[in-house]
Structure 1
Amino acid sequence: MKKIYIFNAAFLVLLSADTAFSQQSQLQIARNSVGKLQMAIEAKQDEKKQLSILGEGVKAAEAAQNDKKTKKWPETWAIKAYLSAYVSLIDSDVSNSDRYYNLANEAIDSAKRLDKFQANSQLISAAVYNVNIKKQEKGNTAFASNDFNTAFELLKEVSDFFPKDTTLAINTALAAQNMQSLDKALIYYKRAKDNGIKNPVVYQKLSGIYSSKFEHELALKSLEEGLKMNPYNVYLTNDYINLLLDTEKYDDAIRVIETTLKTETKNKLLYFLYGYLHQNKSSNNTAILAYNKALSIDENYFDALHQLGIAYINAANESLKKKNSEGPSFTSYINRAEVALLQAHEINQNDKSTVQLLIDIYTRKNRLDKVQELKGKLEEF
């Protein structure tokens, strides 16, 4: 919560020095209460003492507002607004706090309307500041109670008052997102971003909203901005790669994965994706190296084993097209494919694709006993 607004001593002297009215007047009592409150705060007096001073001041301000003459003075309402707002912040009684919060808002409206020459702008500004602190507290309470509509309406007003507060902007955006208002959430996530927030979740949220609106370039840009603020963040990087894949920017994805693997050397998924992307470009040898790297991290990585088997089969077929090839022979590649796919089958015996690939291999090897055995398994699925 932000710091409560209080006046400095010099300003209080000016307030107390006005001798235009008798010290016994209700308005003067209200004025003096502002000074007494300042001294109580500086002396670190407890809330009970402060509330006593505030109660006296509010009572005097209300008497002044009922007087035919002083009710037309903006100072009357400005003092009431300030004192009431302060009560709403420090009174532990919820109903009493809420009552003074409402009184403060009403008094602020009257003070602003009457103060045409802005003679009471400091008092009014202090009251508005403190009301917004209370409003933030009420918004947070509503959010905790899953009343996201109320939370958003309150937090939105406070964020608009404190536009540089990135935490407040995020909380406002979360409330909007929880009420399924993505356009409103976008405004406040952008506010947090524009004010220099580093939190990677904000950039993920922005990207997610843009993606849901099919604005993929903005989604990618958000993740790029997030990575500038959080270099090598795993979650942002993964989201970025996935979005590049979703938008079929495969060459960009390969480039990002290559860069990431320089630091994420134990990330089996990245090695797998790197292999898969190269496999789709018919770069089977590069794919094989990548899948084996992933398997060196996790030897039971089913996806890598399955795709490694396919890569070996593709390499075997390519070897038949090449004459005088100095690389492994067709038989060597097929044997390697068999080993990889058998290991994959052992890990997941219900994967039909793996079984079918093994059937194709054993058909080529004329191992009809294995073919019949595996076909029997397919019929059991």
Structure 2
Amino acid sequence: MNKISFLSPIFFVFICSTAAFAQKSQVQIARNSIGKLQAAINSKQDVKKQLDIIGEGIRASDAAKGDKKTKKWPETWAIKAYLSSYVAIIDSDEGNSDRYYNFAIEAIDSARRLDKFQANSRLIEASVYNVYIKKQDKANVAFKNNDFATAYSLLKDVSDFFPKDTSLAINTALAAQNVRAFDNALTYFKRAKDNGIKDPVVFQNLASIYSSKFEHEQALRTLEDGIKVNPYNSNLTNDYINLLLDNGKYNEAIKVIETTLKVEAGNKLLYFLYGYLHQTNANYSTAELAYNKALTIDENYFDALYQMGLAYVNSANDALKANKPDRAQTFVAMINRAEVALLQAHEINQNDKSTVQLLIDIYSRKNRLDKVQELKAKLEEF
């Protein structure tokens, strides 16, 4: 996920001579080298051959820089910038590549300053393009080495230069997150989203940042947007439901779960959450059905067993309060069901204190003092 994708092919230009010279100059030699380089690229000649051609052009452009007349020509610097930028992206020698990357940046600055009529704009643009390709390579190395501060510094420049590239935007955001620059991460995750990214992780990260800023409604809308382009994605749906619960939107959460369960009938967590929400509203029969559905999927689902046992205890207590002739029978039935469910839960997780405490309460009501003492002794061991 953290890999930085390589961008579109390097932008090459062919510069034709627009000025007439009385004699063959160093600028002409440098200019010709660009034509030779383009021909070498088109015929798929190897990097060594390309570097030899570039070397000839760079020597000529350096000579032109030393002449009091041609050093003032923007073309001299534009050619130097382009050839240097190309060395920066094809030379496997990292030190040499970095050196020419710096030469290219300096030459671009001079070319822009001197090129008042923008006669060399295409050559300068190609040089700038290549420089950003090199920047991306440097960012890739920094990211791989966990130097996220350097990676972010480089990536934000590259992403700003290629704002439509969603992979770049995501990686810039991830680098920002790793240096805890969350506002900056938000900017680049939004850029990826606004440019049509569908990756669920982008929506999850955006929602998480909004939540950390207490912008809960924006977080919910972001997850809704994510679900629209990733229908029934379990991670997005779970985050959405949890965020609804965190913000007290229980009825909305129930509706989302009901809709999702029509598609994800094998999701035990959703059945558990559905049961839990109904249990909090004292809808114990609906909660019981949901927990049983979850247990059908996983018979050793501790949380479902525990909550079902607790629901039975609450139902038993409600039965005692009800003014009905069968309240005693209902109480006994519910307590017995609670005992069975909680014993299963206890068997799965014998160190859960809440389960043991509920069982102590049940056995106290049943006057099973031997069990009460046994379980109390177990509590003291925790």
TM-score between the two structures when normalised by the length of structure 1? 0.94
How much has 1:267 moved relative to structure 2?
A: 1.4
Q: Is the 8 A contact 1:84 1:104 kept in 2?
A: yes
Give the partner amino acid of 1:256. Answer: V
In structure 1, the partner of 2:126 is 126
> In the aligned structure 1, how far is the partner of 2:29 from the partner of 2:175?
43
How much has 1:130 moved relative to structure 2?
A: 0.7
In structure 1, the partner of 2:276 is 276
Q: Is the 8 A contact 1:132 1:158 kept in 2?
A: yes
How many residue pairs end up in the alignment?
A: 375
In structure 2, the partner of 1:244 is 244
Q: Is the 8 A contact 1:22 1:28 kept in 2?
A: no
* Correspondence list, 1:114-193, <5 A: 114-193=114-193
Q: Percent identity?
A: 72
Q: Which runs of 5+ in 2 are unaligned?
A: 1-5
> In the aligned structure 1, how far is the partner of 2:369 from the partner of 2:99?
87
Give the partner amino acid of 1:36. Answer: K
Q: Which runs of 5+ in 1 are unaligned?
A: none
* Correspondence list, 1:1-381, <5 A: 1-2=6-7, 3-7=9-13, 12=15, 15-16=16-17, 18=18, 20-22=20-22, 24-320=24-320, 321-323=322-324, 329-381=330-382
How much has 1:376 moved relative to structure 2?
A: 3.1
> In the aligned structure 2, how far is the partner of 1:147 from the partner of 1:22?
53
Structure 1 moving runs of 4+ over 6 Å: none
> In the aligned structure 2, how far is the partner of 1:97 from the partner of 1:23?
33
Q: Is the 8 A contact 1:176 1:182 kept in 2?
A: yes
TM-score between the two structures when normalised by the length of structure 2? 0.94
> In the aligned structure 2, how far is the partner of 1:51 from the partner of 1:375?
82
Give the partner amino acid of 1:79. Answer: I
Give the partner amino acid of 1:346. Answer: E
> In the aligned structure 1, how far is the partner of 2:19 from the partner of 2:290?
86
Q: Is the 8 A contact 1:203 1:222 kept in 2?
A: yes
Q: Is the 8 A contact 1:189 1:202 kept in 2?
A: yes
How much has 1:202 moved relative to structure 2?
A: 0.9
> In the aligned structure 2, how far is the partner of 1:325 from the partner of 1:79?
97
1:46-104 CA distances to partner (integer Å, 9 max, x unpaired)? 11111111111111111111111111111111111111111111111111111111111
- The farther-off stretch of 274-283 and 331-340 is 331-340
- The farther-off stretch of 129-138 and 145-154 is 145-154
> In the aligned structure 2, how far is the partner of 1:322 from the partner of 1:340?
27
> In the aligned structure 1, how far is the partner of 2:368 from the partner of 2:159?
72
Q: Is the 8 A contact 1:72 1:114 kept in 2?
A: yes
> In the aligned structure 1, how far is the partner of 2:159 from the partner of 2:289?
52
1:350-376 CA distances to partner (integer Å, 9 max, x unpaired)? 222222222222232233333333333
> In the aligned structure 1, how far is the partner of 2:354 from the partner of 2:104?
71
How much has 1:322 moved relative to structure 2?
A: 4.8
Q: Is the 8 A contact 1:142 1:148 kept in 2?
A: yes
How much has 1:380 moved relative to structure 2?
A: 3.4
- The farther-off stretch of 359-368 and 23-32 is 359-368
How much has 1:22 moved relative to structure 2?
A: 4.2
User: How much is the aligned-residue C-alpha RMSD, in angstroms?
Assistant: 1.8
- The farther-off stretch of 247-256 and 349-358 is 349-358
> In the aligned structure 2, how far is the partner of 1:340 from the partner of 1:181?
48
How much has 1:157 moved relative to structure 2?
A: 0.7
How much has 1:20 moved relative to structure 2?
A: 1.0
